[in-house]
Structure 1
Amino acid sequence: MSNPVKDTIGRYGIWNIGLRSEDPQRRGELREAAAELEELGFGALWLGGNSTVHHAVPLLEATERITVATSIQSIWQYDAAGTAARYAELEASHPGRFVLGIGASHAKLAEQYRRPYSSLVAYLDALDAAGVPAGRRVLAALGPKTLELSRDRAAGAIPYLITAEHTAQARRILGDQALLAPELKVVLEDDPARARELARDTLALYLELPNYTNNFLRLGFTEDDLANGGSDRLVDAVFAWGTEDVIRKRIDEFHAAGADHVALQVVHGGPREFLPREGWARLAQILA
C-alpha cells in the first residue's frame, strides 16, 4: 500500500517558525522564501510553532509542487471541526499538497492540557468524522504509544528534538509503511564553542518542557546532561554542526537510522521569526 505523503515529500524539508508569520507586511517575503525553497529542491515546508491550516495558504499560492505542513497544530487551540472545514477548502484549491501535523503540545504551553494521549485520540476521531483522511495527517510523537498511534491513525510521525538513536527506535515501532520525518537542528558553524553556544541558546526553551526531557532520559541521557544548558554530549546528539562534510554525515545518520525525510531547522542565533535564506541556500548546496 502506498503512502501519499511519504511518496511525495522527498528526503529533505525545511522547518521554520517564521514561515507561519501572520504579519501582512511580510506576506511578500514569505512567498519569495517559499518559491526559493522549492527551487532549491526541498520537498516540504514545515511551519513551526503552533501553526494551522490558514498559515499554509500564502506558501501554497506561491509554489507549484512543494508540500506544506503544520508542525504542529495544537489540539487544544484549534477545534477539529473548524480544522476539517479549512482543510477541505485548502484541499480543493491545492489538492494533495497540504499535510496536517497535529500534537498535544505541552502542559506549560496549553492551559487546557489534560490526558494528552486520550485527548489526541478523541481529536483524531473527530477528524475522521469530519472527513480529514488519515493519510493526510501526521502526529508529533516521541513515546511508543504515540508512535503506534501515528502508525495506526495517520500517515506517520514527525518527532521533534530527537537523536538518530530515537529515529531507529521509532522506525521499529512504525514499521516500513508509515512516514518517519524527524526534525533536526543544523548549526552552520564549525567552531565548536560558537556552534554549541548557538545550540544551547535554542535548546534552553526545550529543557524546560518535561515531554522532551523525559524523552532524553528514556534515551539514556542523565540529569547531568540536562543541566546548565545541556552537556556537550546532548548538544552533539540533537544538533548537526561542524564542517559541511560533517553536517552532511550527521544528516545522513538520520536517514540511515530509518528516517524517510528529515525536516531541517537552520539555527542562526537571530529572532525566532527570521527566515535564514542564505543558510537555506548553503544547506541545499551541502545536500546536493
Structure 2
Amino acid sequence: MEIGRVGVWTWGFDHLPWAQVADAAREVDELGYGTLWFGEGTGRDAPTQSALLLGATRRIVVAPGVVSIPRHEPTTLARAERTLAEAFPGRFVLGLGVGAKVIADEVGRAWTSPAATMAGFLDAMDAARTTAPAPATPAPRVLAALGPRMLELAAKRTWGAHPFLMPVEHTAYARERVGPDTLLVAHQNVVLDPDRGRARETARTALAGFIANVHVAPSRWRMMRQLRGFDESDLADGGSDRLVDALTAFGDVDAVTAQVQEQFAAGADHVCISIVTPEPHPVVGLAALRELAPAML
C-alpha cells in the first residue's frame, strides 16, 4: 500500500456536519496528501467514518488514528476491516490503540497490561469468523505505540507503529526499537504563522487539553521525561516554551517544512501533520494545507 510521505491528521471532523467533512476530505485528496488520518473520540465511530470518507474521496488512503479498542468488539471490528479492504482496495489502514484507563472504565472493561490487552485483541480479530468476500489484500494495521513493549508488538504483529504527539527524539527511539523494516508513522502538530511569538501561543492553547490530562495516559509523559528531560515545571502556566516547541512545528512554510524533515531524518517513513489554528476547537486547516502542499508533497 502506498500511503505517501506526508498525510493529514485531524480531530476537526467531529465538529462538522457530514457534507462539510466530505468537501474537506475531497480537497485534501485533490491536494495530493497521501493519507487522511482522523481521531476517534465520542463523535462518529471509526469504521463508519472510514467508510464515509473512502466513499467521498477518489485516491487518498483513509486511516483511523486510532480506533480505541475498549470501545469495540474484535469480531465486529474485524468484519468492518475486511469489508473496507474489499470495497476499497489499497486505501484503508486500521490504526489500533489501547486508549486509557478512563476509557476502559467508561465502557466497563478491565484495565490490564496495555501490550497484553492489544495482543489479545489482535488474536481475537485474527480468529474472527466472517463469510464476507475476502479482499485481494488485507488491510494493514498499525498500533499506537510509545513504549518498548508496544513498539515491539507493532513490529512483530502489524505493519507498523503510529506514535501520537511526541517529540522528534521519540521518532529516533521508536526506529531503534522497531527496526528498519517496520513502518513508522510520526504525528506532527503544525502552526503555519511567521510570527514566532504568536505561533507559540497558538500552539500552547492547542496543547491545553494534553497538559490538563497529562496523567490520564502516564506512559506518554513518562516517555517525554525520559527522552527530553521534562519535569513538572514544564506543565505550569500552560506549558513551558521548551515543551511547546518540542511538540509543534511552527513558522512560515520553509520553517515548518524543515521541522517536518527532521522527523524523516529521525527515522519516520510517513509524517501526518495536524494543523493548529487559534480557533477554539480543532479544525482541518484547509488554508494551511493548501499553502504547505507545494513544499511538502
TM-score, with length taken from structure 2: 0.88
Name the SS for the 2:292 alignment partner. Answer: helix
CA contact (8 A) 1:150 1:156 kept: yes
Task: Tell me the residue number matched to 1:217.
Answer: 225
Q: Share of identical aligned residues, percent? A: 41
Name the SS for the 2:102 alignment partner. Answer: coil
Distance 1:37 1:131 in 2: 35
Distance 1:13 1:235 in 2: 22
Name the SS for the 1:65 alignment partner. Answer: coil
Q: 1:53 to 1:246 in 2, by over 3 A?
A: same
Task: Tell me the residue number matched to 2:150.
Answer: 146
Name the SS for the 1:37 alignment partner. Answer: helix
> Aligned pairs, how many?
279
Q: 1:44 to 1:38 in 2, by over 3 A?
A: same
Write out per-residue CA displacement over residues 217-259 of structure 1, whole angstroms, 9 at most, x where no aligned residue. 1212222223222211111111000122111110000001100
More moved, 85-94 vs 269-278: 269-278
CA contact (8 A) 1:10 1:261 kept: yes
Unpaired runs of at least 5, structure 2: 131-136
Distance apart, 1:119 and its partner CA:
1.1
Distance 2:152 2:175 in 1: 10
Q: 1:46 to 1:20 in 2, by over 3 A?
A: farther
Task: Tell me the residue number matched to 1:46.
Answer: 37
Distance 1:165 1:35 in 2: 33
CA contact (8 A) 2:40 2:68 kept: no
Pick from 266, 274, 279: which aligns with 2:283? Answer: 274
Task: Tell me the residue number matched to 1:118.
Answer: 116
The correspondence of residues 197-212 of structure 1 with structure 2, limited to 5 A, is: 197-207=201-211, 208-209=213-214, 210-212=218-220
More moved, 198-207 vs 243-252: 198-207
Q: 1:163 to 1:191 in 2, by over 3 A?
A: same
Distance apart, 1:27 and its partner CA:
2.2
CA contact (8 A) 1:45 1:68 kept: yes
The correspondence of residues 1-288 of structure 1 with structure 2, limited to 5 A, is: 4=1, 8-19=2-13, 26-50=17-41, 51-111=45-105, 112=109, 114-115=111-112, 116-130=114-128, 136-207=140-211, 208-209=213-214, 210-219=218-227, 220-288=229-297
Q: CA RMSD in A?
A: 2.0
Distance apart, 1:47 and its partner CA:
1.1
CA contact (8 A) 1:53 1:100 kept: no
Name the SS for the 1:46 alignment partner. Answer: strand
Question: 2:284 is aligned with what amino acid?
Answer: L
Name the SS for the 1:226 alignment partner. Answer: helix
CA contact (8 A) 1:240 1:250 kept: yes
Question: 2:148 is aligned with what amino acid?
Answer: P
Question: 2:30 is aligned with what amino acid?
Answer: E
Name the SS for the 1:181 alignment partner. Answer: strand
TM-score, with length taken from structure 1: 0.90
CA contact (8 A) 2:92 2:139 kept: no
Name the SS for the 1:227 alignment partner. Answer: helix
Unpaired runs of at least 5, structure 1: none
